[in-house]
Amino acid sequence: MSPSKDVSLEVFPYLRVYKDGTIERYAGTEVSPRTPAPAAYEDSWASLQWLVAHVNGGIEEWLEDYADFERVFLAGDSAGANIAHQFALRMKDFPNMKRLQGIAIHPYFWGKEPIGEEANESLKKSMVDNWWMFVCPSNKGCDDPYINPFVKGAPSLKGLASESVLVFVAEKDILCERGKLYYEKLVKSGWKGKAEIVETKGEDHVFHIFNPDCENAHLLIKRWAAFINGA
């Protein structure tokens, strides 16, 4: 990449955008090994694969094909957890859905004003701010309801269609405080379901993807499977 090209935007530490539209990637180009779905949730995994493949068809189409399932799991890590949350909010309008469980792994919730340890991590805070505005520019900024489910005007957590939710957070993750807040707000919202939260000490955001063979990753998967088997 020519150093003489004019830079439009720096999205540290992942990429640089040039004014001619080209993008130079610094990180995030690694490919994680594909992890097969545990046998404990093969049926739900197949359903999720169908959902991803047909997401452009809309949630209504998906619900009409799968509303008769005995159980449906919505699971996702990072931004995928946000998507699962949004789907669960919309599913309240489909009474034929029998049982819905949600699993949020290191959810990518955020907000304009720092909370907890975020106030002591100004560099990381500004980085996450910039990532969001690059990926999803909005006049609401980091208080857009898609990334801040606690902001005024966001749908009430009370309306979540899931009858149970398991939230995973990682101690060193800058998003950890938001995951904890999501759990706390959900429990206090008047929602009728059951929520659980698991914090992994000494780990950072989506560590299980970057190091799937570590002990903590195995423990996360086991806890995930136990939640499904006990749901």
- Is residue 138 part of the annotated active site? The answer reads no
**Is residue 55 scored above 50 in pLDDT?**
no
Which of 48-61 are b and which e, b meaning 16 or more Cβ less than 10 Å from the residue's Cβ?
beebeeeeeeeeee
Confidence of residue 33 (pLDDT cuts 50, 70, 90): low
205 domain-assigned: yes
Asked whether residue 187 is assigned to any structural domain, the reply reads yes
* Within a domain: 10: no
Q: What is the CATH classification number for the domain harbouring 112? A: 3.40.50.1820
Does residue 58 lie in a domain region? yes
Q: Is residue 80 part of a domain?
A: yes
C-beta neighbour count of 104 within 10 angstroms: 30
Per annotation, catalytic residue among 47, 78, 162, 189: 78
pLDDT interval class at 63 (50, 70, 90)? low
Domain ranges, residue 146: 40-230
For tokens 């159980």, the residue is: 71
In a domain, 5, yes or no: no
Residue 35 lies in a domain: no
Mean pLDDT of 65-78: 73
Q: Would 146 be classed as within a structural domain?
A: yes
In one-letter notation, the amino acid at residue 189 is S
Q: Count up the domains in the chain and report the number.
A: 1
Over 60: is that where the pLDDT of 52 sits? no
